[in-house]
A and B are shown apart, each in its own frame.
Chain A
Amino acid sequence: MAKSKPRVKVPKKAKAGEVITIKTLISHTMESGQRKGKDGKPIPRKIINTFTCEFNGQKVFETNLEPAISANPYFEFNMKVPESGTFVFTWVDDDGSVYTKEEEISVE
């Protein structure tokens, strides 16, 4: 697809100290660099190489991806929520593009 588009699923509310599940997905072909095009030349690698989740400025989770991650990369992971705040999710493309998405959570 022309431009990558992220989706994120985070609970809107949680109790302090609760471990929540976060799911993320982004549209991306994850071109492995190992395929050849119709002209017989290798198609250059173009993947999302890093995914990061930060909460109120602190790192929660990070993944370094290789071309073996499927197209439209999906990640599911957890977080122990200390307080209300803002998540920032970041995906970095080989071509330098950076995609971000923010989500709020309120702790009761």
Chain B
Amino acid sequence: MELTRREALLVAAGGAVAVMAGAIGLPAFAAEGEAQKLIDEFTGGATPESGKISLSAPEIAENGNTVPVGFEIDSPMTADDHIETVMLLAPANPRPGVATFHFTALSGKAAASTRMRLAKTQDLVAVAKTSKGAFYMDTKPVKVTIGGCGG
């Protein structure tokens, strides 16, 4: 998934905007249309709580083609109380879905990591669903550097 020059320019502009937004204190996160729809479908309209879940990714990705990303959720992971599903989204990608992870009581720990593609600088989103029907969410901003010879 290599970026075209036009996309790269858009991304560069987006990055600059993100830096400015941070500087003047605009809200860091607002899921874009399609991503919000996916979250609503996943939670059945419930608003996920923050905390319990922690999403990790580099502050700055050297190349958007391969960005390490992981999450961990505080859960006893027993048969009657465990994390069932975690949905990972990249709201500003051409398609926001990244992956859905299914855990069981055998998992022992509700954590996973993978490597993903990011078309531009954005806030990643992870939403977790527990076996008791609770939802937790975390977001993580990642800057994607494009330009020069690495882009």
Contact = CB atoms under 8 A, between A and B. Distances in A.
Interface of A: 19-20, 32, 34-35, 55, 58-71, 73-80, 82
Contact of B99 (A20, A66, A71, A82): A66
A20 B114 CA distance: 17
B52 interface: no
B104 A60 contact: yes
Interface stretch (B15-23, B87-95, B133-141, B143-151): B87-95
Interface of B: 1-2, 65-67, 70, 77, 90, 93-95, 97-109, 111-118
A74 B115 contact: yes
A77 B99 CA distance: 14
Contacts of B107: 60-61, 77-80
Contacts of B111: 77-78
B100 A64 contact: yes
A66 B114 CA distance: 12
A70 B112 contact: no
Nearest to A62: B102
Nearest to B89: A68
5 contacts: A68-B93, A68-B118, A73-B114, A76-B113, A80-B109
A71 B95 CA distance: 17
